[in-house]
Each structure stands twice: as C-alpha cells, then as structure tokens.
Structure 1
C-alpha cells in the first residue's frame, strides 16, 4: 500500500513548450525521394508475423491474450521494447471509445542500444490485430529531419536518429507522442509516415545525391515538433519516463510519470487534451501546465494509466521475477504481486475489451500481453 501525497497542488515550477512545426523540413525530404503514405500505407505492407503465446504465459500468470515477436526481434540485443498504445487511445470522441478503428491496431516503441559503435535511436512497431491468431507488424524508424543550416535552414535535408528511451507512447487523434525523459516528449503526425527505397548500408542514416540511408528501414516517421520540459529555478525537473491516455467519464487527459528508485522522485501528473486539436491544452500564452496526480507514485514504475476512473501502475522486479500491477483504491495504490510476466513496461487501457495491455523488454522473453482489468478489482 502506498499513501497519497500531502501536496497535490499544481506543479508551478514545471511547464511544457511546443516547438516549431517541422512541416517544411519534412517536405524537403519528400523532394529527395521519400513518399508520404500515412498509417494506411504501413498497414498495407506489413512484413512480419508474431506468434500467439497466451498458453505459454498462462503457466506464469493468467493473461487474456499474448503474442511474441518473430525470432530476430525476440533475440535482438539492439532493440528493446518499451511503450505501448492502441487504436482505442486514438479516438477523441468518448462516445466512440474502444474498437473504433478498423483494423484494431497496436503501436509499440523501442529504443536502440549501441551495437558495433552504431546507435540507431528509437523506432515504433505497427501491429495489426485483425486476426489475433496471426498478429502482423512492421518496424518504422523515428527520425529528426532538419534542412541544412549551412544554407540558412533551406538546404538539403539532414537526418538524425531520435535519441529517446521511448518508455511510453500515446496515440491520440492524428498524433503520436513519444516520451523522452528529461527533454519532455516528441510529437509525430501519423499522416507523415514516409516510405523510402533505402540504401543497402544498414549502419548509416542520411540523405544525399546517392539516395537515403535509413539503417535499412523502408518506413520513417519524422518528428513534427517537440514538447520541451522547462523548470523554474529551484524546482525539480520532471522526468517523462512514460505516457498514457486516460479513459473515464471526464475529458480525455494525458498522464505522465517517472521511473525512480531509492531517493528518486516518482511523481505522476496530468495534462488536459484539447478536443479541437487532440493536442495538449495550452494557456493563452502558449504554455502547457501540468496538474499533479492526487495519487502518489511508487518505486520502479514502468507505466501508469487511468482506467474506469482508477489508476493502474506496472512495476517490475528484473528479468526473472514476475511483475506487479498496482490498483488505486480510495486514493491509495495497492499492490497485486505476480500479476504480470517478468519485465513489464508501459501500460495502456482498451475500454471496449476492458483490458490492460503491456509488453516486456528482455531478450528471448519479449511478449505483448493483455490482462482482464476486472481480475484486479
């Protein structure tokens, strides 16, 4: 059990600031051979198939559904899965909350560890769950596109990896938000998904006269703008370890929180979402201000989501021990031990299914799984 904080007032020292729209930079990449295909283009060209693993995981802890990735993704020492969001999160109209998207889609995130001296940044995986017995997916590289500053910002496009832990993601409306720890988070527009004919050099990222190198990824999603976290003097900076979209009777909100252990902070806070834009609501001066959660966080949080008006939090105990699900009751988080497979990460809620969806990160034990929320009431 974990008590609520005494000070549940606003985080007056912490603000978010939306950066400039990168649309012109993305257009420069289109001019050198990229093609804008959107989410539909990726869903029409899925190249990998997962394996259902529900029975395998039920030997550890009951799950409603689970799958694992193809062999090379299960074993990869470069790419480590982190965040999860669903097509239910994308729906802005609460009256249509749930399986409003056709097909039902998951998006997960992963960050890259440095392998052979190359750090590839972060990527997402788009998963089509139309046939749960045969989940199909494709990886999409996240990129930061800027025009060459040597030409006054109007030159050839320069590609850089998006260096973020990507510990949590939220798909809302046309936007995908990806957590970037101390920086705040990056925001992408799914309509900007691009297809390229990548050069064969799988250790390089860049655009030039010879073509576009993308670490071997045919699909890219470029940053549309950043949400930069700023802290007033004397305040403790927020760490955007994970993100989720709330589901409840009130207006939709974005929930953010911190992974922490020992003396580290484990705060949770909310932002309002503007129904007209599906972006975070800002003050008239353009500043985005958080509201501290009335429920205290717990050590080693990997993800948190509001479902049916109650907070649900995942925590892990390393590679071999099963994780916990914490459920809010009367303003206090109560632990349900051994509720998840080992290594749970981010968590999202799928209202029409009344399920909590999460994923695990460790090589050879990487699963995407759903838990029936009512089991933990």
Structure 2
C-alpha cells in the first residue's frame, strides 16, 4: 500500500457517492533542490565508486534480464478495460518480504515510448519495498531491511517478457573515508521515469532522483551485505546491479505526503503530479518525520510541478497547481492537463477502482475496476509512435501475494 506499510484494511472506501474536489493555493507547496548528502556531493560519491566498480547504464541491464514473466491474455483478477500485461514469476508472486508499489514505462521516459533515446527498447519499471514484518504482528520475521529494489522489465516481446531486479542505494563513505553505499529504507510508493532520470517518492521528505546512466555491477554473493564489505569487495544483497541516488528535492513548504507520482506529457511544459494517501479521509502528518512548514489542509491533494525538458529536472521549485479530492486510499496518480486519474484501493479482498476528476470540478467518478491491491499509475499515450496501442492506456500493478499483476487498462474505461 502506498502509505506507511501495514495499515489494516478498513471498510469500503469506494462508495457510490463521488469524491469532492476543490482548487487550493499552489504557491504554498515548494521544494528545495539538493545535490549532496552528509557524505558529500552525490556526483563525487558516484565518481568515487566508479573507480572501484564497473559502471553500466540502464540499457545494459535491460539486455541482461534473468527472470521470465507470464504474459496475460485476458484481464487479471477484477480489472476491466484490459489491454496488455504480465504477472511476475512464481518466486516473486509468493515472496512476502518484497512488496511491489510503483510503476512507470519507457513511454514516460521518451515521448515515442522507446529507450534509450534513439533506441528501440520497450521497458516497464516497477519498484518494491522490503518489509521485515510481513504479517504485521509487530514481530520482525526478517532481521535485515534490504530497502528498495527496482525491476527492469524488457517488454520488447510482450508475449514473453523478461526482467531483472536491481537494488536502489544511496552513495556514502565509510567511517574510514572509503566510498560505499547504503540501502534506502523507504516505501517507494510511486516512481516516474523522465529521460535518463528516475523519480522516486520519499513519503515524508519529497523526491529522490536516480540517474539511469549510472549503475554499478557487483558480485552476486553475500546476500546479506550491502556496500563495502570487510573482504574489500562491494555487494548489493545478492543483486547483480545497484543504482545509486544522484539528486533530491526536499519538501520546503506546507506539509505534503509524497505518496505517488505521475508524469503529464499533455501539459505545457511537461509536468509531474504528486498525490497523497489517507486511510479515513484526513491525511496524517503525525506518523513520520515530515519536512515542511506545518500542516495545511489535510484533505488529500494532487499537486503539480513543471519540468524542464532540456535537463529532465524540475523547471520550478514552486508548484503550479494544487487541488484537493476527498478520496480515501489513493495509491496512484497521473494527469492529462486538467484531468486527473487516481487509483483507489479497498483492502486485501475487494477490487480497486480507477477514478478521474477535472480541476475545478466538484466530483471524481469511477472509470473502471482495477485489481485487488491496486497501486501506482502511469499514462501511456496512443501517440507514442515507437510503442503505441490503438488507444491510450494507463498502467497499474497489484501488491498482494499471488495477485501481483502489472497491466494496462484503456484510459477511457472502454
């Protein structure tokens, strides 16, 4: 789920009555750009790692996939308006400590849908977080929180997708000044791919950014070690590749819960939107250490920032649009100009719903049903010339064990 993990399922939140929406002051939502952590500049830390480890790019990983997904020939679970999709392999369907959350595709990365720029790969990315207490009983079943992983799905052959997991890390230095990296123990409820950059929401803090041109290859052994080990080698919890953080945008204005993120290529300029999760109608800012200047409205919000196409970074640190929407359990968001799509979940046994509303309108209505445990959203325009469907679709994924589908539905619900 896209808020703090393991909040218990409540009663149905997808009532027949539509959700209320309103426009609010966007200027209260601001970010600060950060190029470093307490160990130094991200660029310098990654350059130091490059002197110790083989450096690769995302195209290398996409060509080095090692797991097979199952192609879906019909709508999974309770989903409607189905276009395409897949299910993870049996191990990833059953694992209880890695939980899928975010989804984005190469149709976000570049307008024609292919990656890299000028290339011809069709790719889906998904994020997962590690849960040490999967059954939520307050007792950890697993001793090590391995943080976040990102999955590169090579979708060039949609009938037989293949994929590989990589570990997301933060570059650091050891106590003795050696270059290293640490796991990122966050939730990764939503992700957005834009050019060579991957944006990952940090619930309490803002946005983390990763440069997909800079990954490092590490040995597969030492599955419980991350970073520089006592033997002088580097490891990534048994993963072949690690992807280090390259930048950050920290919340600096009114408190905002960074639950999900989506790219809007229909706006001018391109923009990103962030949505908030609430369990029972009011957004909580008391369950973590939030960056910001204090509580504003606690009704869930969708907030927009402009992007700069030339460098793929934010074009402005001040939001350009903010709307509230009285919808519980928002897990994903994506927008097309003034039209906003939301995925809303409803516990472990009830279908999710894709909903939409227009800025300035008073209500949000249902578009179509989604799978049980629906999470993040990503819009895929029919205008993506290199990877197009007959009509625009929205990607979604499910988080629950043995219900982990990654799939696209028709954006108009047909």
> Hey, what's the Cα distance between the residues in 2 that align with 1:46 and 1:214?
17
Indicate yes or no: 2:238 matched with 1:238. no
Provide the residue aligned with 2:152 in structure 1: 126
Which of 133, 141, 156 is 2:167 aligned to? Answer: 141
Question: What is the alpha-carbon distance in structure 2 between the residues aligned to residue 206 and residue 133 of structure 1?
Answer: 37
1:61 alignment partner, SS class: coil
Specify which of 394, 399, 405 is matched with residue 361 of structure 1: 399
- Deviation, 1:332, is 4.1
The separation in 2 between residues aligned to 1:192 and 1:67, in whole angstroms, is: 28
Please, what TM-score do these two structures have when normalized by structure 1?
0.88
| Structure 2 SS opposite 1:210 | coil
2:253 is the alignment partner of 1:223: no
Instruction: Describe the SS at the equivalent of 1:159.
Output: strand
Q: For 1:132, what is the secondary structure of its paired residue?
A: coil
- Tell whether 2:225 aligns with 1:204: yes
Q: Please give the secondary structure, in 2, of the residue aligned with 1:27.
A: helix
Distance in structure 1 (CA, Å) of the matches to 2:30 and 2:410: 35
2:79 and 2:369 in contact (8 A); partners too: no
Q: Is the 8 A contact 1:247 1:309 kept in 2?
A: no
1:291-315 CA-partner distances (Å, limit 9, x unpaired): 3424635211001101375211100
State the match for 1:290 in structure 2: 319
Q: Which moved more, 1:23-32 or 1:8-17?
A: 8-17
Q: In the comparison of the two structures, how many residue pairs are matched?
A: 355
Q: Which residue of 2 aligns with 1:176?
A: 198
**Residue pair 2:206, 2:249 contacting (<8 A) in 1 also:** yes
Residues 176 and 297 of structure 1: CA distance in aligned 2, closer, same or farther (over 3 Å): farther
Partner of 1:274: 308
Gaps of 5+ in 1: 92-96, 283-287
The yes-or-no answer on 1:28 pairing with 2:42 is no
Summarize the alignment of residues 1-377 of structure 1 with structure 2, pairs less than 5 Å apart.
1-5=18-22, 7-12=23-28, 14-20=30-36, 21-32=41-52, 34-55=53-74, 57=76, 61-91=80-110, 97-101=111-115, 102-114=120-132, 115-148=141-174, 150=175, 155-198=177-220, 200-208=221-229, 209-231=231-253, 235=254, 237-262=255-280, 263-264=282-283, 265=298, 266-282=300-316, 288-294=317-323, 296=325, 298-307=327-336, 309-329=338-358, 331-336=361-366, 339-352=369-382, 353=389, 354-375=392-413
Deviation of 1:197 after TM superposition, in Å, equals 1.9
| Contact residue 78 and residue 351 of structure 2 kept, 8 A | no
Hey, what's the Cα distance between the residues in 2 that align with 1:3 and 1:65? 32
**Gap change, CA 1:44 and 1:106, over 3 Å in 2:** same
Contact 2:372 2:398 in 1 (8 A): yes
Q: CA RMSD in A?
A: 2.0
Contact 1:322 1:338 in 2 (8 A): no
1:110-141 per-residue CA deviation (whole Å, 9 max, x = no partner) reads 10012521100001000111111101100010
- Say whether the 8 Å CA contact 2:301–2:323 is kept in structure 1: no
Shift of 1:27: 2.0
Deviations 1:52-84 (A, max 9, x none): 233362776342122100111011111100001
Quote the Cα distance in structure 2 between the aligned partners of 1:60 and 1:17.
39
Q: Which has the higher helix share?
A: 1
TM-score, reference length from structure 2: 0.81
State the Cα distance separating 1:49 from its structure 2 match.
0.7
CA distance in 1, matches of 2:192, 2:31: 19
Quick one: structure 1 residues 238 and 113, their matched pair in 2 at CA, closer, same or farther if it must change by over 3 Å? same
C-alpha distance in 2 between matches for 1:128 and 1:349? 18
* In 2: Cα distance, 1:50 partner to 1:332 partner: 41
Closer/same/farther in 2, CA of residues 122 and 297 from structure 1, 3 Å limit: farther
- Map Cα deviations across residues 319-347 of structure 1 (whole Å, 9 max, x no partner): 21111111125724433276111111000
Q: C-alpha displacement at 1:267, in angstroms?
A: 1.2
